[in-house]
Amino acid sequence: MLVKSLYDQISIVADMIIESKRVVVFTGAGVSTESGIPDFRSPGGIWDRFDPDEFTIQRFLSSAETRVKQWRLLTESGLIVDAQPNPAHSAIADIERMGKLSCVITQNIDNLHHKAGNSPEKIFELHGNMNWIICLNCQHRYPLPDIRKRLDLGSGPPFCEKCSGILKPDVVFFGESLPPLVLDDAVRHSRECDLLIVVGSSLVVYPAAYIPVYAKEAGARVVIVNLTATEYDKMADEVINSKAGEVMPRIMEAVQERIS
């Protein structure tokens, strides 16, 4: 079997983007790690340092003491950081600026697609957004920086200033379902696209991992850009095993060269 060079692969994907009208980008932790945000499942990741059972919604609701513990885990895990987008995020935003992007579907909770310049209405966050804190009683949402200013875990967990309700990061904990409207929209866009690009996801977390399958079944081409192999590589039209922050900018440079 002929082994293609990275240059050839980048050229093929660039041509796919140019030929497509409705591109969906599906991103996972491999994009965030290049911005300094720790992965959950990789060796040395968050679940190697913390017990995932501590992040269940049931435990979060059970007592103030447990909530203090969970907030401390969140602050010490590296998830609450002022991270910045990396070249992969910028390249994905460039696809939108070309007018090709249908949407970004992301498993990440770091708000970096927003910071990179993608339109909020084109970002579907399957696991929520760590940049927002929600009151479980009155549903009021606070920006994370507002809560960080008054976070004093020595005095107990933070509470809602409007109703004294429990505050929780607006992300999906274990034991919670993915937001149904967001998931429905993500599935619909994946079934309507003509090209789906997986960037930085090992495709092991379900039901999110089905997103590229829906696209392929509907007739779209699928590209996977991930540092390691995935179980869906065989169904993909092109697989590039490299860092997203290195490959995605090169793909978009090739696109611009062809357009120019």
What pLDDT digit, counting tens, does each position of 220-229 carry? 999 999 999 9
Q: Which one, of 120, 118, 78, lies nearest residue 199 by Cα?
A: 118
Contact 96, 118 (CB under 8 A): yes
Segments making up each domain of the chain, as ranges: 1-37+85-127+178-260, 39-80+128-171
Burial code (b: 16+ CB inside 10 Å, e: under 16) for 185-216 equals: ebbebbbebbbbbbbbbbbeeeebbebbebbb
The CATH number of the domain covering residues in 39-80+128-171: 3.30.1600.10
Residue 220 has a pLDDT of 98
CATH code of the domain made up of 1-37+85-127+178-260:
3.40.50.1220
Place of tokens 């070249």: 87
- Whether 89 sits among the annotated catalytic residues: the reply is no
Find tokens 């991270």 and name the residue. 83
CA distances to 76, 129, 210 from 111, rounded to whole Å, are 19, 6, 22
The reported pLDDT for the residue numbered 48 is 52
- Nearest C-alpha neighbor of 186 from the set 215, 156, 146: 215
Q: Are 212 and 232 in contact (CB under 8 A)?
A: yes
Among residues 89, 127, 140, 189, which one is catalytic? 127
The β-bridge relationship of strands 167-171 and 128-135 is antiparallel
Amino acid sitting at position 168:
K
Confidence (pLDDT) at 102: 98
Query: Rounded distance, CA 250 to CA 95, Å?
Result: 13
The identity of residue 260, as a single letter, is S
Q: Which residues contact 114 (CB under 8 A, 6 or more apart)?
A: 120, 123, 131
Q: What string of pLDDT tens digits covers the 260 residues of the chain? A: 556 899 999 999 999 999 999 999 999 999 998 998 876 555 555 555 556 676 789 988 988 988 888 888 777 766 666 789 999 999 999 999 999 999 999 999 999 999 999 999 999 999 999 899 999 999 999 999 899 888 888 889 999 999 999 999 999 988 899 999 999 999 999 999 999 999 999 999 888 899 999 999 999 999 999 999 999 999 999 999 999 999 999 999 999 999 98
pLDDT at 246: 96
Same fold, 1-37+85-127+178-260 and 39-80+128-171: no
What pLDDT score was predicted for residue 151?
86
Distance CA 206, CA 226 (A): 17
